Chains A and B, each alone.
Chain A
């Protein structure tokens, strides 16, 4: 690891001030950042440790939502009884990620900003536009089994790795950000960016921006929600495809649906097109499939990841079917 200075943030103001300096990064649980620093992918001059800041609780919001501090550990959030009752999809998504040990370390803020697991991004000997703008993209013609098929560009096809974020996308979460010029709120859908021709710019955050909380609005339909993750082994692996879904069915007709996807896009992917097609229609396999296929109509696949379209469609169908059957019971 390249030598760096370590500062424990005393309070939010000084943290934000310190991090506005170039070469400074926040440190959460370290489970992504320390790994990337050891590989030489990240080389900050200063780390500002924010785990001691007082954003480590989950609080009630008026109207039934929850406000999750950015330093809340992934395991704590997954275990929160309110989360499990109101947003099971979020608890399940968290529990399907990483391992027990890592979830105990990882923070909500860090999870939001974890970086892609594209193997060429991790190997500094490879060409990677995200790591080194303009150097090329070895994944395009290389091993891209894990890469994205929606929202990609010729510059980068990396998939976003987070499970938690997929659930948050389905729940219309909002991210509270404290920057040099004050506090603002960014909808989750607007936090991550598509690669375009600047894959190194991954979020809408600016230097010094500290994530302080994630707010979950009340989403009654989410009481019946589900996270389904498909991967190469039974546990402790990133998603090939994942689906966060919530389904409300009234008399065989879909009254409300939330659908977000992981493993298929450079950001947690809210499947708006599928949602639009489903809402008001019948809750059956044929409808689920039609909607899922429509979502992937514009997919850009490569040899190594072409299977993801089929896999994603059938995983969406299976997840919605399961929710529907659960509702019928």
Chain B
């Protein structure tokens, strides 16, 4: 990327739209049913596919009887490892090509008789109707030779081994002698936590509509990372990338679950190729559980030592996460602990076990969301031990520089966040004694925790194009899963070019567009913004060059620095021209500029930068719970979060993102868990009725505040919003429960049986 951002001054200019709570652009489409999702594109010869899933944890298929399935009227084909056309194997994961991360698993579906996990797809039925496909799938009869499998995380967790680090993620660290310091500390806590597996449960189950035209594949798919998916599909089907078109205008929720290529996508494309039909494969809800990875469970230890004044002397945070023999990446569970507290002695270590299960994958704030549960619960417990206010304890340990690496914080405002939050939440009304605050029969508790999520950027390519009628078209293959992508980038582009918001059109969600950033790691908005700003700068430059060439232009002889972009053109006190005028005068019907950025150097830059700086979105989470003293049901009654997410482009969509994270965090804290049977690795509750997402009645009004201070080192001062909201939430709930009941729950979710 060619633009440089001043380290001292935010790159925000005068803004008209940035900062406003503009309504979402896709609002009308989404509230009238016009927005089409991946399973909603009609094709005249459309056929429907359904998966057959293995019901053993590990073994070989000795026979696969498809006779009954084939006999059903309307069945077109049944694909198995015996007859399916071969796909190329999944590429090996490599940091030199991040698109290799797209492999959800290393399994080459329908290529061998091997079963690697309970739920693996072992056949695909293609039929004329969705009902026929699903019914026929239920008639496929596999026989297996079972092999021993290890599937029980709780049982295997003690055998974990240190994980191999991945350069772009944080893992272990050591400073001083944390164990000695812990032993010597006058006050300490040493706690073991566990978190269960979670699933994303986007309300849109993964669905693919795949159409081949010769060697050209068109794929409708809700995708979080179009470039990765496209490359992956090209590799698996042995066609050039340019032969794969991915259309993803709307994504019905993703949260990490749609950032990789999972079985359903590949098998839809395979089935379409094998049958010569347009094929739609909409996974059942259980199918999503069985084929799309979720969040790893974890076992964690946090030990803290402090002096009597509450200054930390030792911080130990170790974790075990789970991957699979066939893929998955360890979660950076201790990542936030690198940056939260100024302890002189720190030991962080991440361990991993590999099991015979569907691999884990990214889920909203992988690492930080469950890692902060442990470390922020432990801090709260330490505050109890010290008899100190938990906010005060945090403030006493607020670091000046990165506690492990000594890096500079690009800016850090946790003190301000807590101060504002405490005031707005009424923290001073909290009686510090446990179990004494009441509202009628309910026990009341208040808890806090710190939110932390690193801020990163990914390469993004963007073109901007001025039309002679003054329209500005922004094109980038970005993703819209509900973040308000188009709305926010339109606001930025309108400000950069000085044009009315209504005249900006944003095109996204299509692999034919210049590749956008993945919608992962909270990077999309900031990354795309960088591209938009860069491209707009170039566009203004070309517009000026064009103007200056025209005889009689009022802009002749002007330099860009002297001009303001506003009112649809370039302005100077002594003469202005609109873009439309410039284009007309030059006889042009459009003018285009492009921001290019390669993957080149991205990884190196991230790693290098991390040695020098810590850049992160942070926040202070405030939670009030009510606990029924008879049944120990816990209800969240109030929530307030104060966030430092840098510049807020759109207060409305940003608040929704943060609230969304908090709601998911409440589910994580109180009710969600994926139950995996330790006997056979089968998911026991693969449904929305037995996996308990928060419903309306579980969610109170959530009060969101921003500090709205631009980060001095990023374009527009953006830090990323998508994930920080969920971090700290489970700890804030657990801490509030501790306050209400005197009971510390170490194992999520905090169901009532753990309090009875």
Binding site for B on A (CB under 8 A): 1-3, 38, 40, 117, 119-120, 122-123, 125-126, 138, 141-143, 145, 230-238, 240-241, 307, 310-311, 314-315, 317-318
Contact = CB atoms under 8 A, between A and B. Distances in A.
A2 B68 CA distance: 12
B97 interface: no
B756 A233 contact: no
A233 B690 CA distance: 11
Contact of A125 (B55, B633, B687, B689): B55
Given A120-B684, A310-B756, A318-B630, A235 B690 contact: no
Contact of B631 (A3, A123, A142, A230): A230
17 contacts: A1-B135, A40-B138, A119-B685, A120-B684, A125-B682, A142-B679, A142-B684, A233-B670, A233-B694, A233-B697, A233-B698, A235-B697, A236-B697, A238-B689, A241-B631, A311-B752, A311-B753
Interface in B450-482: none
A311 B752 CA distance: 9
Contacts of A119: 675, 684-685, 690
A230 B635 contact: no
Contacts of B751: 232
B192 interface: no
A233 to B, nearest CB: 5
Contacts of B690: 117, 119
Contacts of A125: 55, 682
B675 A143 contact: yes
B682 A123 contact: yes
A292 to B, nearest CB: 11
B135 A307 contact: no
Contacts of A230: 631, 633, 752
Interface in B647-697: 670-671, 675, 677, 679, 682, 684-685, 687, 689-690, 692, 694-697
Interface in B138-173: 138
A126 B679 CA distance: 11
Contact of B679 (A123, A141, A237, A307): A141
Contacts of A240: 752
B684 A143 contact: yes
Contacts of A318: 628, 630-631
Nearest first, the 5 closest Cβ-Cβ pairs linking A and B are A307-B753, A234-B697, A318-B630, A125-B55, A235-B697
Contacts of B753: 145, 307, 311
Nearest to A139: B684
Interface of B: 55, 131, 134-135, 138, 628, 630-631, 633, 635, 670-671, 675, 677, 679, 682, 684-685, 687, 689-690, 692, 694-698, 751-753, 756
Contacts of B695: 233-236
Contacts of B671: 232-233
B441 to A, nearest CB: 8
A3 B72 CA distance: 10
Contacts of B682: 123, 125-126
A60 B135 CA distance: 46
A119 B687 CA distance: 10
Given A1-B135, A232-B751, A311 B631 contact: yes
Contacts of B628: 318
B629 to A, nearest CB: 8
Contacts of A145: 753
A316 to B, nearest CB: 9
A129 to B, nearest CB: 17
A307 B753 CA distance: 6
Contact of A235 (B135, B687, B689, B696): B696
Contacts, number: 78
A2 B670 contact: no
A126 B684 CA distance: 9
Contacts of B756: 307, 310-311, 314
Contact of A317 (B55, B630, B687): B630
A238 to B, nearest CB: 8
B547 to A, nearest CB: 60
Given A142-B684, A143-B684, A307-B753, A232 B55 contact: no
A173 to B, nearest CB: 27
A238 B694 CA distance: 14
A145 B756 CA distance: 14
Contact of B684 (A123, A237, A310, A311): A123
A230 B630 CA distance: 10
A3 B694 CA distance: 36
A122 to B, nearest CB: 8
Contacts of B752: 230, 232, 240, 307, 311
A95 to B, nearest CB: 12
Contacts of B697: 233-236
A1 B682 CA distance: 22
Given A125-B682, A142-B679, A307-B753, A2 B135 contact: yes
Nearest to A231: B633
- Which interface residue of B134, B630, B687 has the most chain A CB atoms within 10 A? B630
Nearest to B751: A232
A117 B685 CA distance: 11
Contacts of A2: 135, 138
A142 to B, nearest CB: 6
A105 to B, nearest CB: 15
B447 to A, nearest CB: 19
B142 to A, nearest CB: 11
A119 B631 CA distance: 24
Contact of A1 (B131, B630, B670, B696): B131
Contacts of A231: 633
Nearest to B683: A123
A314 B684 contact: no
Contacts of A142: 677, 679, 684
Contacts of B55: 125
- Which interface residue of B631, B682, B684, B697 has the most chain A CB atoms within 10 A? B631
A268 B59 CA distance: 42
A143 B677 contact: yes
A56 to B, nearest CB: 27
Nearest to A319: B630
Given A125-B55, A233-B697, 7 more contacts: A3-B135, A119-B685, A143-B675, A234-B635, A234-B695, A234-B698, A235-B698
Contacts of A122: 687
A135 B628 CA distance: 41
A319 to B, nearest CB: 9
A148 to B, nearest CB: 15
A122 B682 CA distance: 13
Contact of A314 (B631, B679, B694): B631
A80 to B, nearest CB: 24
A312 B695 CA distance: 24
B335 to A, nearest CB: 30
Nearest to A316: B630
B397 to A, nearest CB: 35
Contacts of B687: 122
Contacts of A310: 756
A236 B696 CA distance: 10
A236 B670 CA distance: 15
A318 B630 CA distance: 6
Nearest to B636: A234
Nearest to A315: B631
Contact of A315 (B630, B670, B677): B630
Contacts of B684: 119-120, 123, 142-143
B50 to A, nearest CB: 12
A237 to B, nearest CB: 6
Contacts of B689: 117, 237-238
B138 A314 contact: no
B333 to A, nearest CB: 25
Nearest to B56: A125
B53 to A, nearest CB: 8
Contacts of A40: 138
Nearest to A234: B697
A158 to B, nearest CB: 14
